[in-house]
Every structure is written in structure tokens, then in C-alpha cells.
Chain A
Amino acid sequence: DTGVSQDPRHKITKRGQNVTFRCDPISEHNRLYWYRQTLGQGPEFLTYFQNEAQLEKSRLLSDRFSAERPKGSFSTLEIQRTEQGDSAMYLCASSGDRNEQFFGPGTRLTVL
């Protein structure tokens, strides 16, 4: 297993378009997290899954954001009607029994 992977690595879109990102966690990890990070800030929690169940969602997450983790494997994060303020690095992490987080390389989103 090569770790957490994310696709795409970069996404440029126009305001108002929908985008979807994918995360493949480490295979034996049951928790999967999504974060957003902007320049000079630490990662900001968005949502997390334990297996296929979405257990927590940040109150900062607008209704335009939705995440899924079908069958408890990979996860997708969709942003509808993107806005310029959505431009950020979107990070995915997974963890197992020790709750040690392992991060993917991130998806850099630019909304024009």
C-alpha cells in the first residue's frame, strides 16, 4: 500500500461550476477525513467518516459541499456552484486504530 492518494492534484474551474474530488485511503483504515487549507493556516476540518457512515460535519460547511464514502472505501467531495472563496487546498487523511492521521498530497482548487 502506497498511502493516501487524491485525484486530481490540481483543478481550475470557473465560478458556478461543480467539482468533485476523490480520495483513496490506506486500505485498512476505517476513518477518513476531509480538510480545507488556505495559505498560512492549518488544515480546517470539514467532515469525517467511520467506514461508510458520515459522523461529523463542520458547521462551517455550506450546503454546497457534500461528501460520500460508499462501501467504506474511497470517498468523494463535491462542491456545487463553486465560488472564488472555495479556492484552497483540499486535503484527505485516513486513520486506523491508533488514530494516527496520514495525509494525501491534496487537491489544489482554483476558482476563476
Chain B
Amino acid sequence: KQEVTQIPAALSVPEGENLVLNCSFTDSAIYNLQWFRQDPGKGLTSLLLIQSSQREQTSGRLNASLDKSSGRSTLYIAASQPGDSATYLCAVMASGGSYIPTFGRGTSLIVHP
């Protein structure tokens, strides 16, 4: 059974810092990995999708990498802003045709001015 762990659980940083959020998974036979942000009381917003054949994806100040062999993905946020404050979740979709993602618990990020 796939297990997804996100470290740290919470992070509080001053504005302008470059951040690293980690996501680890136990079964490397994955189809894709997706990063989301979630604001309090809202649904999830897709940030980046990495297919299993890819090593990284970039969107603006965000960069996500994937290392299947070690069961890890990292989300980099450059030059953090207060508007980045949210919970960041990763979801791993296993290969094999089930198409069911497993989510981590998320990293709660606060960027203070």
C-alpha cells in the first residue's frame, strides 16, 4: 500500500526566503505525482504535475523535482511572498491502472511580511 509523507508538517518563514518542501513515497511504481495548494476552507488548486518519465517541472517561481528511485519529490518555492501562505499537498498516482491517488497530509506554510 502506497504511503505518502510530507515534511515538514508546518513552516513559518519571512518573506523573500527560498523554500523546500518534501514529499516521500514508499512505492516507486508511480504513474505521476502532483503538487497542490489549498487555502483554508477551499478546494485544492493544481500547481504542477510530473509524469513518471519526467525529472522536473517548472511554473513561475515553483519548481518540482521527482526522483522515483529514492521515492522523493521536492517542491521549491523561490522568493516566497505572503500570498504563498497555504497548505501544500502532494499526491502520488500508482501505476498499474488503478488511477487512484494517495495524498500526503500536507505542509502548512506561513510567509510573514
Contact = CB atoms under 8 A, between A and B. Distances in A.
A100 B44 contact: no
A105 B43 contact: yes
Given A40-B105, A105-B42, A108-B41, A56 B49 contact: no
A91 B43 contact: yes
Which secondary structure dominates where chain B touches chain A? strand
- Interface size on B, as a range, is 20 to 34
A103 B45 contact: yes
A45 B93 CA distance: 12
A6 B46 CA distance: 17
Which secondary structure dominates where chain A touches chain B? strand
Contacts of A6: 43
B99 A48 contact: yes
Nearest to A93: B44
Interface string A97-110: 01111111110100
B85 interface: no
Q: Which 10 A-B pairs have the closest CB atoms?
A: A42-B103, A103-B43, A103-B44, A100-B49, A105-B43, A106-B43, A43-B103, A42-B105, A104-B43, A42-B104
Given A42-B91, A100-B34, A105-B42, 18 more contacts: A40-B105, A41-B105, A42-B103, A42-B106, A43-B91, A44-B103, A45-B101, A45-B102, A56-B98, A89-B41, A99-B31, A100-B32, A100-B49, A101-B46, A101-B101, A102-B46, A103-B44, A104-B43
